[in-house]
Structure 1
């Protein structure tokens, strides 16, 4: 429909399409690209000469090709359809888009092509994955709380009955111990659930300098710290500090008060290792799960918090044997 007061010729219409920040493209009846707006060129990274005649399969991630083909069949059967796929730029970047297609017909109703409008939904995908991750964590927390808080509550109740019956001070101390355990679990859970989402404000932080600052601020006794030239990582300083505190504390609890902890560089990351007994043969990444602890005094949340913070940064995290047969955790930034 065209307003009477506005007489737009083809040049004005094409210029208008070039101004929108969505992909706009037209494919002919042989599924070849015959028209695209300026945003499509910028988004894809291809030149006009390269885009001319390309097929949709050349612009979509391989993993999404079955979805694309099903979508194209729907368009030809119903006349229109919508799908979410990842478009691939010339430099290999994948960008999630929601595509809407409608068939083009001539005056006789014969199909002569297909028009496609695509909108970048990267932020929505990130948000949906954050929600999915939070949902999984809530389920994990529910299972953890049902066991690790209910158990000391039951213990406290039993010893409280014994104290009422006997008046023995040792029984009362068992009640106090159980409640301290509950307080420790709650504090760690609050620390874990206080983190959320994806970190946006990152800054370059020297891992080695921060490691020394953290080491000086926590009780380490006879333990020793060795720091190689680690360089910098893009991170939230407060969250990286939390990571190092938890890893140092974990080493002291599991490797003993005379442990030596080493912080060193990796390609695009860093590692923290100790010279303790290392991981048992049946343990690997499970040590990062909430509730997993090899110490009766631990809550099993310290390394879960480390894993959560790494996930928020988009880092990969791996557990392996250290260079001195101890435990080692590696952090690697995404490319």
Structure 2
């Protein structure tokens, strides 16, 4: 008795002998404990019993009252054409067997013989297994058809059932009986084995001889797949040989089941072509393609993987994906793979470690693959070489560092030389130069070490690519200089980059090879030149400021000496006159002298506060405001510090700023005015509750000489604005919440 932990096989046995039914049930369940056998003596009621679809096989007697086995088979086939139906009868004859087979019986077994129950059990098992396999294959083919429905119109929907034929072969006489007579597989009437051989491809005929011989000698079932040669026959057919021992015969009779499998073979060939096409497409891409199984091992990859890593296919097969990465990246890779499995996708930048130990930067994108039931099959994705991007990012970082160095350069020559050095070190330009415009000429200021003396010629701004670049302010990436009529290369150069350095001059890089520079070179070169232009702009501003400061110093000297000396004389004379006589005009003259003194002091302060600020310190606005308040004649006024803030500023000039704003509030407001100092997110403010800003245009109060007080000089707020601008800040005048004036200073570093 067989005992297997497999699916139960439910059998409906039909016989008019209840005792025989009971005996058969007992013997079958002994043969295989998977069998669940239900019985009936009512053949006409079988269709109703089969309606719920729970039976795997029908075993029927042949000779029964009312409806015999073949009639029952026909009835069952009407409703269940594929359900295994085994004719199990005691009245065996070739005629009955032939009729049964012609009617589509699954198997024909005689009740006679000691091993009848074993044969019946084997037949049931085989029939059910084949039935289930056929059903499973059909379901699988249907699923695969859906996946390929866009490319395989002929496979839309369920795969059609193939034609079949049943042959009986007598190996002793070579005679065959075919059911049906006209074989649907080979397209002819079959009478002898030779008829079959003639339709089978010569390359496959030996398989038939060998299979028949094995079936006769060993008594085992044989399965094979064969090709045909006739246009009327199927291209391929499957042949199953089942030897059947007949009492009194030395050799068994062979029952053969032939089934057209041309569509399946065509499908397999098409699938192979599709797979080959996908493989070719995957191998054609420049990126890495990979598939990692649920255990984290490589299962599929493209040719690019072997090219990049240096491992051959045998080495990659089954390799843990982590082994392709250096030790310091393996943890990140493992985490990324886990992220794909749980969330569906992930992107990671990591270095690949080649077989030779080289590291190459790649960006990997992975997605989760699942089967129809949602089970994770693995991770599929691509890896893209980001060496160029990484190199570009390194160059960008280096160029930003160069920008800091250029901002600290103290001469045009130093800026140009550092720019050329950067073009060599970072951009790997061998031949580059900077020409600065001077009186209509582009004079060479800095060149690469490899530029020959012949390449140092100064040129007019009206000549060559350099002149065109300077005049139009446009940059050029030139792959072939021979295509530019205005080009006048000073050497055997074929390609070049030409970029204006704003209105200062021109940067050029050249090469003796054509198409030597690409778009990235061009972009990075423009960035480098923009840094150089900013540095040259700064130097130009500093020169202008220096000249301005020199003029201010001259002005301050004139004010301090040429105006103050006569004023001192006038004040001394006024003092003497006051001692000798008493006149109302003397007091007016004294007031005028004091106003002149105030004007001179304000002019000197204006000259001092407008100069550049060299160094700043961290200072408290509360501390500076309170100290400044102490230097202002405040009458009954009050200072309120709403909140404190530490900023970067020149302490002396910040002190002057607060002093002037506080004095402005006191002199233009009430005697008991309140001045409030507070912090802003990016600066601070000074507000009062006085009479407010009288001007229609608030910005006009910063103009030199503007004042609403009879004895005001009009310089106080101008000096405040000069101090603000010298720090790089901004000042805005507006009304305070109490109706007075409010000054907001912003853009301040903390």
TM range (shorter): 0.5 to 0.7
Aligned Cα root-mean-square deviation (Å):
4.1
SS of equivalent to 1:193: helix
Q: 1:37/1:321 Cα in 2 relative to 1: closer, same or farther (>3 Å)?
A: farther
By how many angstroms is 1:309 displaced?
0.7
TM-score, reference length from structure 2: 0.29
User: What is aligned with 1:50?
Assistant: none
Tell me whether 1:184 sits opposite 2:586 in the alignment: no
On the 8 A contact 1:314/1:333 being kept in 2, the answer is yes
Q: How does 1:167-316 map to 2 (within 5 A)?
A: 169-316=583-730
Tell me whether 1:84 sits opposite 2:496 in the alignment: no
Cα distance in 2 between the residues matched to 1:321 and 1:251: 13
User: What is aligned with 2:732?
Assistant: 318
Q: 1:221/1:22 Cα in 2 relative to 1: closer, same or farther (>3 Å)?
A: same
Q: Residues 41-75 of structure 1: CA distance to partner in whole angstroms, max 9, x if unpaired?
A: xxxxxxxxxxxxxxxxxxxxxxxxx9896333699
On the 8 A contact 2:613/2:650 being kept in 1, the answer is yes
Cα distance in 2 between the residues matched to 1:78 and 1:296: 69
TM-score, reference length from structure 1: 0.61
Match of 2:536 among 91, 96, 121: 121
On the 8 A contact 2:499/2:508 being kept in 1, the answer is no
Cα distance in 2 between the residues matched to 1:260 and 1:207: 17
Unpaired runs of 5+ residues, structure 2, are 1-398, 403-416, 430-468, 479-483, 490-497
Q: 1:334/1:251 Cα in 2 relative to 1: closer, same or farther (>3 Å)?
A: closer
User: What is aligned with 1:21?
Assistant: 418
Cα distance in 2 between the residues matched to 1:128 and 1:296: 40
Comparing 110-119 with 228-237, which one deviates more in the overlay?
110-119
By how many angstroms is 1:100 displaced?
3.1
Cα distance in 2 between the residues matched to 1:222 and 1:299: 23
By how many angstroms is 1:131 displaced?
5.3
Match of 1:102 among 473, 487, 508: 508
SS of equivalent to 2:418: coil
Comparing 189-198 with 98-107, which one deviates more in the overlay?
98-107
User: What is aligned with 2:115?
Assistant: none
Match of 2:473 among 54, 65, 70: 70
Cα distance in 2 between the residues matched to 1:317 and 1:222: 27
Cα distance in 2 between the residues matched to 1:252 and 1:216: 13
On the 8 A contact 1:316/1:332 being kept in 2, the answer is yes
Cα distance in 1 between the residues matched to 2:626 and 2:744: 18
On the 8 A contact 1:104/1:111 being kept in 2, the answer is no
Cα distance in 2 between the residues matched to 1:313 and 1:79: 47
Q: Residues 179-217 of structure 1: CA distance to partner in whole angstroms, max 9, x if unpaired?
A: 221121011101111234321311111101221222234
Cα distance in 2 between the residues matched to 1:127 and 1:79: 36
On the 8 A contact 2:622/2:645 being kept in 1, the answer is yes
Cα distance in 2 between the residues matched to 1:37 and 1:69: 27
Cα distance in 2 between the residues matched to 1:127 and 1:277: 41
Comparing 68-77 with 222-231, which one deviates more in the overlay?
68-77
Match of 1:36 among 420, 423, 427: 427
User: What is aligned with 1:333?
Assistant: 747
On the 8 A contact 2:631/2:659 being kept in 1, the answer is no
Q: 1:79/1:179 Cα in 2 relative to 1: closer, same or farther (>3 Å)?
A: farther
On the 8 A contact 2:661/2:717 being kept in 1, the answer is yes
Cα distance in 2 between the residues matched to 1:305 and 1:67: 40
SS of equivalent to 2:474: helix
SS of equivalent to 2:609: coil
SS of equivalent to 2:726: helix
On the 8 A contact 2:639/2:675 being kept in 1, the answer is yes
Cα distance in 2 between the residues matched to 1:267 and 1:303: 23
On the 8 A contact 1:199/1:312 being kept in 2, the answer is yes
